[in-house]
Chain A
């Protein structure tokens, strides 16, 4: 089954790319954009039918590789 994972920077961790995107959007006339944080999205194709088991496996993968928990949080969708 397919598991979707989103990895984002923790609050307080500098995101210069997000900042640059925000400034560009502001420059394009979107003056109401007050913040942009860039993250990562993963589609995991897991050979597992039990959703709980697949999500547990995905969580382990996030902790071990997909996210660096010093600076990132992850969400399994």
Chain B
């Protein structure tokens, strides 16, 4: 299985993602933002970081970069596109996913482990995953998901809220909401569920000695679903 990770100036989780993808069997290629063609891929990843220094709005400049048109074409033909953290922000700025990531409610950069509840398994990312709750890492200043009431209704009616922040028992409530996100939303799909954007970083949870292994579960499951 082939994957590509796009590197923007200011991306800083690109190599972690490369390590994670290779560890679980992807043949990964790093792609520079100024390229205009994507290598043949089964999965495109927009990694975390601070593309273009978060200038203007997080993800807005990357959302107009040269490579992004190929990513949009790939996504529109059903290709799998995963955006993590800044990658999620870029996906909303391109319009591939609805809504926007606002500054955290408490105006603090949050860097900690959180639990997320998997809401939908009828997709390539979470199908056959044998857990309901994952422990993942978040590190962001703008993770407060916001969208219009109509968009929220559309997301909920179509089971497009992929993951929600919860406590370790799976309770989704205000206390388990780290950043003020609408309805504790941590990640969403597009209508066809080939695009997933989420704030938590699975690539940071792939080593049982360093962090945890719920990211390993995510990647192992993902590659098995693509095969």
Interfacial residues, chain A to chain B (CB-CB below 8 A): 13-14, 16-17, 20, 64-66, 68, 70-71
B60 touches A65 (CB 8 A): yes
Question: A68 near B146 (CB under 8 angstroms)?
Answer: no
**A70 touches which of B99, B105, B106 (Cβ 8 Å):** B99
A14 near B57: Cβ-Cβ < 8 Å: no
Taking a contact as CB atoms under 8 Å apart, the answer to whether B100 and A68 are in contact is: yes
Contact A71–B102 (Cβ < 8 Å):
yes
* Contact in complex: A70, B180 (CB < 8 Å): no
**Interface flags, B69-112, vs A, CB<8A=1, else 0:** 00000000000000000000000110000111011111100000
B-side contacts of A17, CB under 8 Å: 103, 107
- With contacts A70-B146, A71-B146 taken as known, whether A13 is within 8 angstroms of B102 at the C-beta atoms is yes
In whole Å, how far is B174's beta carbon from the nearest beta carbon of chain A? 15
Closest residue on chain B to residue A20 by CB atoms: B107
Q: Are A68 and B105 also in contact (CB < 8 A) when A13-B146, A14-B144, A14-B180 are?
A: no
What residues of B have a CB within 8 angstroms of the CB of A65 in the complex? Answer: 56, 60, 64
Q: Which residue of A lies closest to B64 (CB)?
A: A65
B148 interface residue (CB < 8 Å to A): yes
Chain A's interface: helix, strand, loop or mixed, by majority? helix
CA gap between A28 and B105 in the complex, in Å? 23
Q: Residue B30 at the A interface, CB < 8 A?
A: no
Size class of the B contact interface (CB-based, 8 Å): 20 to 34
Binding site for A on B (CB under 8 A): 56-57, 60, 64, 92-93, 98-100, 102-107, 144, 146-148, 180
Kindly state the separation between the CA atoms of A64 and B95 in the bound complex, as whole angstroms. 11
Bound CA span A39–B220, Å: 44
Give the CA-CA distance A68 to B93 in the complex, in Å: 8
B99: nearest residue on chain A (CB-CB)?
Answer: A70
Q: Are A70 and B56 in contact (CB under 8 A)?
A: no
Task: List residues of chain A with CB within 8 A of the CB of B93.
Answer: 68
Task: Report chain B residues within 8 Å CB of A71.
Answer: 100, 102, 146
Q: Which residues of A contact B103 (CB under 8 A)?
A: 14, 16-17
Residues of B within 8 Å of A64, CB to CB, are 64
Check B60–A16 contact: CB distance below 8 A. Answer: no
Give the CA-CA distance A76 to B56 in the complex, in Å: 17
